């Protein structure tokens, strides 16, 4: 094992990387003068990874397994809970499951090494019994119900269901109250064995630490052998055209919540993936960011408010552009956006606006480096797509206004967009 | 990190925190007034109207473009309440020179922009623009109405409103719909001019610039601010006991699939001379975090809910326990939440649990030293309370909290109101079931 040092003098950071013999990738960002330590241990396995082949048989697992597994991983064989042990040791542990990954993390200001060992230990030590799995079902069912009452979740999944015809990213990560009934201890053991192999995982650490020591601890605590990991089967590749274009659901909300989205070309890796995402976010900043003519006009005439935002989401071999917020007239926002897209496809972006957007992007990226959680989690996510977001400071310089225009013209054509709306229940809402 | 405090102009105070470790400096400007139903909506609206445009950058597009040029520097309206003190103004953040291609120092220009937002808004005939006022009124109304979208937050806010129905604390930091609808641009302009003369102002800076650099930049920028007689009469009224002999109950129905239970407590006589460290440690032991009694028992042991946690509103002497439950678990969850409080009162917790709680509190406070945003909030509160110890010192005090201290806080706490948000139709089901049972019997 060799440790590589990557320096980013422009932003005052140094990144150390290594790949252990068991295939685990390690990324460490040392921080002097900070009290906080942060570690994130992430597997390239999430809610959408439901179908896969192992030992010659194909498994079709119910929706919600990755998330269920996340809940149960904290149970240790001696009956203790890693959540309690870490908390008792002064750490603040937690975990999340997305469509593409499951991430276990903690933050602390003391006892870091001990906490790191516990993190690596509990995530690599499955222990489930019929009884403990059964007990969790109620808690997870409550979590699923809570999501059903959350307009943000409803508007998001409705959008994904329209964009994707069959890719499992359209299903809720936590599953449904029905689908989780089928999950057993055996399901959890199967999925853990297959997807929690070190070669499918990455450990990211930020804090006042020695990178060599981090790698050594990981080598000591984790399994030694390198296991092959199957690729999850997400079904046939989808066309870039959405399966549906408009969906409205009524809920108890004060004003319509909406998201517009488009599928972007998936499957790029490394620098090309980073370039694609940087181009997309720079283009979206100029198209509909807070200083864009589009946004400021619709903000001033009352169509949009400060909730309006955009993002590019990479997950489970998909790439999705999402724009949205709250508006009394979401259809109008879509019409106006289409008009703006057509104009930019034709005229391109204003060069002065392009220079400003690059500066603003630099500032925003610097600000994001201040956040331990953001740094460690994005280092992990990026690694599964073969790049490192620290490189974006340099790569940003290479992107041209024409790249951004082309992105808007090609990826955001009217037939590529879908609109999801959660509207107030009729007869209840205000004017 | 070095903290210092100075008075730049009459009633204009600067809290300066010198730190070399961040990539982004932050700065805030807060007008300080008493929270009240009459003025809350105007206070909440004002920074949003001012943020629409200045004399130099008359609309949002020009202002935003200028901020983009300054490497994505941000100046956002901010409206907070600290106890019953209403603080509103702007929060700015901008990159430190060392990380910019030309090494540009943005402190002076950002101070100037922030002061312009406050002192030189885009006006016509000396009046705030009706178009800006009306459009921000609409947005504020939408924001107030939107609280129903987040059921968890909504339930907590409703519990506070009912519990403190005779106190200013029932007023939301955004005011209410009636208050917003009543605002007219002329009246708002008059109110704004009065505020500039009479409000205490709290400024905060955290970054690499020295005290004198920051003082100079802000003093120059704010030089034109009119100052008259300053109204220092702001503060929080404490109510030690529950409103009625028996805890009040309040139920609301909505189309939801999960119930939200919120228990509102008064911290009681421990607020006469509050031991802040002890109150935080009590809260950690009882209900905040994964080693707390509420998490371990109500969630983990009994699986009664998806979340159950307590939070303290220290300056108002309140504690709220909030939980998401099935409708039929109301009695069981409430009983268990109260049983766990009783356990703390009886000293029914191990030294280990106490130690966990102390460490959790200390760790959160030490971690705050790594976040400019957390530091800003911490020091604003300290400034309003006239206190000058930093998070690290409070963390040390937390380490010294004893078992007796925690029991004393627990004994002082008193349940005032139980709030329950339940489904629209679930009761009819229950009634049908009961009716059915009756026939069977």
pLDDT (tens digit per residue) in A89-116: 889 999 999 999 999 999 999 999 999 9
Q: ipTM for the complex?
A: 0.92
* Calpha distance B333→A427 (Å, rounded): 35
Chain A CB within 8 Å of residue B65 CB: yes
Q: Are A145 and A253 found together in one domain?
A: no
CB contact under 8 A, B135 and A306: no
Inter-residue contact A326 to A305 (CB < 8 Å): yes
Q: Are A260 and A372 found together in one domain?
A: yes
The predicted pLDDT at position A427 comes to: 63
CB contact under 8 A, A90 and B363: yes
Report the greatest alpha carbon distance in chain A. Answer: 66
pTM of the model: 0.92
Chain A CB within 8 Å of residue B351 CB: no
Instruction: Tell me the nearest-neighbour CA distance from B439 into chain A, angstroms.
Output: 31
Does the residue B440 lie in any domain? no
* Calpha distance B140→A78 (Å, rounded): 53
Does the residue B110 lie in any domain? yes
Number of domains in chain A: 2
CB contact under 8 A, A146 and B324: yes
Q: Are A137 and A30 found together in one domain?
A: yes
Does the residue B192 lie in any domain? yes
**Cβ contacts (< 8 Å) between B370 and chain A: which residues?**
34-36, 372
CB contact under 8 A, B324 and A293: no
Nearest to B145 among A93, A302, A430 (CB): A430
Determine the structural domain holding residue B62 and report its residue range.
2-221
CB contact under 8 A, A291 and B65: yes
Inter-residue contact B237 to B168 (CB < 8 Å): yes
Q: Are A10 and A144 found together in one domain?
A: yes
CB contact under 8 A, B21 and A33: yes
Q: Are B279 and B182 found together in one domain?
A: no
* Pick from B427, B228, B226: nearest CA to B328: B427
CB contact under 8 A, B256 and A92: no
CB contact under 8 A, A35 and B256: no
Instruction: Tell me the nearest-neighbour CA distance from A96 into chain B, angstroms.
Output: 15
Inter-residue contact A106 to A93 (CB < 8 Å): yes
Does the residue B18 lie in any domain? yes
Does the residue B229 lie in any domain? no
Chain A CB within 8 Å of residue B2 CB: no
Q: Are B254 and B209 found together in one domain?
A: no
- Listing DSSP states for A36-78 in one string gives -EEEEEEES--TT--EEEETTEEEEPPTTHHHHHHHHHTB-TT
**Which of B:268-287 have CB within 8 Å of A?**
none
**Cβ contacts (< 8 Å) between A33 and chain B: which residues?**
20-21
Low-confidence ranges of chain B (pLDDT < 70): 426-441
Q: Are A199 and A283 found together in one domain?
A: no
Determine the structural domain holding residue A56 and report its residue range.
4-221
HEC states along chain B? CEEEEEEEECCEEEEEEECCCCCEEEEEEEEEEECCCCCHHHHHHHHHHHCCCECCCCCHHHHHHHHHHCCCCEEEEEEEEECCEEEEEEEEEEECHHHCCCCCCCHHHHHHHHHHHHHCECEECCEECHHHHHHHHHHHHHHHHHHHHCHHHHHHHHHHHHHCCCCHHHCCCCCCHHHHHCCCHHHHHHHHHHHHHHCCEEEEEEECCCHHHHHHHHHHHCCCCCCCCCCCCCCCCCCCCCCCCCCEEEEEEECCCCEEEEEEEECHHHHCCCCHHHHHHHHHHHCCCCCCHHHHHHHHHCCCEEEEEEEEEHHHCEEEEEEEECHHHHHHHHHHHHHHHHHHHCCCCCHHHHHHHHHHHHHHHHHHCCCHHHHHHHHHHHHHHCCCCCHHHHHHHHHCCCHHHHHHHHHHCEEEEEEEEEECCHHHHHHHHHHHHHHHC
CB contact under 8 A, A35 and B370: yes
The predicted pLDDT at position B302 comes to: 77
Q: Are B272 and B146 found together in one domain?
A: no
Q: Per residue of chain A (431 residues), give pLDDT as tens.
A: 899 999 999 999 999 999 999 999 999 999 999 999 999 999 999 999 999 998 888 999 999 999 999 999 999 999 999 998 999 888 999 999 999 999 999 999 999 999 999 999 999 999 999 999 998 998 899 889 888 889 999 999 999 999 999 999 999 999 999 999 999 999 999 999 999 999 999 999 999 999 999 999 999 999 999 999 999 999 999 999 999 999 999 998 989 999 999 999 999 999 999 999 999 999 999 999 999 999 999 999 999 999 999 999 999 999 999 999 999 999 999 999 999 999 999 999 999 999 999 999 999 999 999 999 999 999 999 999 999 999 999 999 999 999 999 999 999 999 999 999 999 988 644 43
Q: Are B206 and B287 found together in one domain?
A: no
CB contact under 8 A, B363 and A91: yes
Q: How many CB pairs under 8 A join A and B?
A: 173
Q: Are B16 and B80 found together in one domain?
A: yes
**Cβ contacts (< 8 Å) between B68 and chain A: which residues?**
291, 356-357, 359-360
Chain A CB within 8 Å of residue B23 CB: yes
CA B70 centroid distance within chain: 29
Does the residue B415 lie in any domain? yes
Q: Are A317 and A406 found together in one domain?
A: yes
Does the residue B233 lie in any domain? no
3-state secondary structure of A420: strand
Looking at B221, B256, B282, the residue that finishes a domain is B221
Q: Are B193 and B140 found together in one domain?
A: yes
Nearest to B372 among A81, A293, A370 (CB): A370
Q: Are B214 and B252 found together in one domain?
A: no
Q: Are B343 and B207 found together in one domain?
A: no
Nearest to A87 among B60, B258, B360 (CB): B360
Q: Are B176 and B300 found together in one domain?
A: no
Q: Are A411 and A303 found together in one domain?
A: yes
Q: Which tokens go with A380? A: 């992990």
Shortest CA distance from A151: residue in chain B: B149
- The domain that contains A149 carries what CATH number? 3.30.830.10
Q: Are A205 and A352 found together in one domain?
A: no
Does the residue A233 lie in any domain? no
Instruction: Tell me the nearest-neighbour CA distance from A141 into chain B, angstroms.
Output: 9
The predicted pLDDT at position B427 comes to: 53
CB contact under 8 A, A135 and B305: no
Q: Are B426 and B306 found together in one domain?
A: yes
The predicted pLDDT at position B429 comes to: 44
Shortest CA distance from B291: residue in chain A: A84
Inter-residue contact A240 to A172 (CB < 8 Å): no
Q: Are strands B318-325 and B305-313 parallel, antiparallel or unpaired?
A: antiparallel
Shortest CA distance from A294: residue in chain B: B61
- The domain that contains B417 carries what CATH number? 3.30.830.10
Chain A CB within 8 Å of residue B59 CB: yes
Does the residue A226 lie in any domain? no
Instruction: Tell me the nearest-neighbour CA distance from A371 into chain B, angstroms.
Output: 8
* Pick from A130, A150, A408, A148: nearest CA to A284: A408
DSSP H or E run through A402: helix A401-411
Q: Are A187 and A281 found together in one domain?
A: no
DSSP H or E run through A25: strand A25-30
Number of domains in chain B: 2
- 10 Å Cβ neighbour count for B438? 8
The predicted pLDDT at position A181 comes to: 97
DSSP letter, residue A418: E
Inter-residue contact A218 to A23 (CB < 8 Å): no
CB contact under 8 A, B303 and A138: yes
Nearest to B145 among A254, A290, A293 (CB): A254
Q: Are B214 and B255 found together in one domain?
A: no
Nearest to B148 among A143, A252, A306 (CB): A252
Chain A CB within 8 Å of residue B21 CB: yes
The predicted pLDDT at position A129 comes to: 96
Nearest to B99 among A12, A91, A146 (CB): A12
* Calpha distance B312→B409 (Å, rounded): 12
Q: Are B203 and B348 found together in one domain?
A: no
* Calpha distance A7→A29 (Å, rounded): 10
Q: Which of A363, A370, A372, A397 to mutate to test the interface with B (most CBs of B within 10 A)?
A: A363
Does the residue A231 lie in any domain? no
Q: State the residue for tokens 């339930």.
A: B155
Does the residue B232 lie in any domain? no
Looking at A221, A256, A289, the residue that finishes a domain is A221
* Calpha distance A319→A60 (Å, rounded): 24
Residue A13 β-bridge partners: A8
Inter-residue contact B417 to B249 (CB < 8 Å): yes
CB contact under 8 A, A362 and B60: no
CB contact under 8 A, B68 and A357: yes
The predicted pLDDT at position B436 comes to: 36
Does the residue A227 lie in any domain? no
Nearest to A135 among B64, B142, B303 (CB): B303
Nearest to B23 among A110, A366, A425 (CB): A366
Q: Are A285 and A197 found together in one domain?
A: no
* Calpha distance A419→A159 (Å, rounded): 7
Q: Are A160 and A206 found together in one domain?
A: yes
* Calpha distance B150→B152 (Å, rounded): 6
Does the residue A353 lie in any domain? yes
Q: Residue A70 catalytic?
A: yes
**Cβ contacts (< 8 Å) between B67 and chain A: which residues?**
291, 360
Inter-residue contact B361 to B277 (CB < 8 Å): yes
Looking at B176, B206, B221, the residue that finishes a domain is B221
Looking at A155, A187, A221, the residue that finishes a domain is A221
Inter-residue contact A54 to A194 (CB < 8 Å): yes
């Amino acid at each position: 094992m060799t440790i590589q040092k990557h320096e980013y003098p422009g932003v005052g950071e140094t990144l150390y990387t290594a790949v252990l013999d068991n295939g685990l990738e390690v990324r460490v960002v040392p921080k002097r003068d900070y009290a906080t330590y942060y570690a994130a241990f992430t597997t390239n396995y999430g809610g959408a990874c439901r179908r896969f082949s192992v030992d010659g048989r194909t498994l079709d697992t119910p929706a919600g397994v990755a998330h269920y597994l996340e809940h149960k991983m904290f149970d240790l064989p001696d009956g203790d809970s890693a959540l309690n042990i870490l908390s008792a040791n002064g750490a603040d542990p937690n975990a999340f499951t997305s469509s593409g990954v499951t991430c276990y993390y903690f933050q602390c200001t003391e006892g870091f090494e001990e906490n790191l060992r516990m993190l690596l230990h509990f995530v690599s030590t499955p222990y489930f019994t019929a009884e403990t799995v059964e007990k969790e079902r109620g808690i997870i069912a409550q979590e699923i119900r809570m999501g059903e009452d959350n307009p943000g979740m409803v508007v998001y999944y409705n959008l994904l269901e329209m964009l994707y015809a069959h890719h499992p990213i359209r299903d809720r990560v936590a599953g449904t109250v029905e689908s989780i009934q089928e999950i057993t201890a055996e399901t959890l053991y199967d999925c853990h064995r297959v997807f929690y192999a070190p070669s499918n995982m990455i450990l990211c650490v930020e804090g006042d630490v020695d990178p060599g020591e981090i790698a050594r601890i990981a080598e000591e605590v984790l399994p030694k052998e390198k296991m092959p990991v199957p690729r999850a089967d997400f079904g046939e590749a989808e066309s870039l055209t959405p399966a549906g274009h408009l969906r409205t659901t009524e809920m108890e909300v004060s004003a319509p919540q909406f998201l517009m989205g488009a599928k972007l070309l998936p499957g790029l890796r490394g620098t090309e993936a980073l370039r694609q995402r940087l181009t997309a976010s720079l283009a979206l900043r100029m198209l509909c960011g807070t200083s864009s003519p589009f946004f400021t006009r619709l903000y001033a005439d009352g169509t949009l408010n400060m909730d309006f935002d955009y993002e590019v989401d990479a997950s489970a071999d998909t790439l999705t552009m999402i724009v949205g917020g709250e508006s009394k007239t979401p259809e109008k926002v879509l019409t106006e956006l289409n008009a703006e897209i057509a104009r930019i496809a034709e005229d391109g972006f204003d060069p002065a606006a392009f220079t400003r957007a690059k500066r603003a992007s630099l500032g925003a990226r610097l600000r994001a480096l201040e956040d331990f959680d953001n740094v460690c989690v994005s280092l992990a996510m990026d690694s599964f797509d073969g790049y490192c977001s620290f490189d974006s400071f340099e790569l940003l310089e290479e992107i041209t206004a024409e790249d951004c225009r082309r992105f808007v013209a090609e990826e955001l054509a009217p037939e590529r967009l879908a609109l999801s709306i959660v509207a107030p229940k009729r007869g209840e809402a205000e004017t | 990190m070095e903290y210092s405090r100075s008075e730049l102009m009459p009633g204009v105070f600067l809290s300066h925190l010198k730190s070399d470790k961040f990539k982004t400096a932050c700065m805030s400007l807060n007008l300080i007034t008493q929270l009240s139903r009459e003025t809350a909506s105007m206070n909440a609206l004002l920074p949003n109207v001012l943020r629409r445009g200045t004399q130099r950058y008359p609309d949002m597009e020009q202002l935003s473009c200028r901020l983009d040029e300054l490497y994505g520097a941000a100046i956002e309206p901010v409206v907070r309440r600290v106890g019953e003190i209403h603080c509103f103004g702007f929060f700015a953040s901008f990159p430190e020179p060392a990380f910019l291609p030309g090494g540009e120092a943005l402190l002076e220009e950002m101070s100037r922009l922030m002061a312009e937002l406050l002192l030189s808004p885009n006006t016509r005939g000396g009046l705030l623009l009706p178009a800006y006022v009306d459009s921000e009124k609409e947005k504020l109304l939408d924001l107030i109405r939107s609280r129903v979208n987040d059921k968890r937050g909504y339930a907590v806010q409703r519990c506070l409103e009912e519990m403190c129905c005779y106190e200013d604390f029932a007023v939301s930091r955004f005011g209410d719909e009636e208050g917003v609808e009543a605002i007219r641009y002329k009246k708002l302009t008059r109110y704004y001019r009065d505020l500039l003369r009479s409000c205490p102002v709290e400024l905060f800076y955290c970054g690499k610039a020295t005290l004198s650099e920051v003082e100079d930049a802000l003093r120059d920028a704010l030089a034109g601010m009119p100052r008259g007689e300053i109204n220092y009469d702001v503060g929080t009224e404490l109510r030690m006991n529950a409103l009625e002999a028996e805890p009040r109950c309040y139920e609301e129905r909505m189309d939801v699939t999960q119930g939200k239970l919120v228990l509102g407590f008064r911290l009681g006589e421990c607020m006469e001379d509050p031991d802040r460290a002890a109150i935080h440690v009590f809260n950690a032991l009882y209900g905040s975090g994964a080693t707390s009694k509420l998490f371990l028992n109500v969630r983990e042991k009994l699986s009664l809910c998806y979340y159950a946690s307590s939070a303290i509103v220290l300056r108002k002497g309140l504690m709220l326990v909030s939980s998401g439950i099935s409708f039929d678990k109301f009695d069981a969850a409430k009983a268990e939440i109260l049983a766990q409080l009783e356990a703390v009162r009886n000293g029914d917790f191990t030294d280990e649990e106490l130690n966990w709680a102390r460490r959790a509190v200390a760790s959160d406070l030490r971690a705050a030293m790594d976040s400019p945003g957390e530091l800003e909030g911490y020091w604003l509160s300290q400034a309003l309370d006239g206190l000058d110890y930093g998070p690290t010192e409070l963390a040390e005090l937390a380490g010294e909290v004893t078992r007796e201290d925690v029991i004393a806080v627990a004994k002082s706490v008193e349940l005032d109101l139980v709030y329950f948000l339940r489904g629209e139709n679930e009761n009819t089901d229950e009634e049908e079931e009961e009716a059915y049972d009756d026939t069977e019997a």
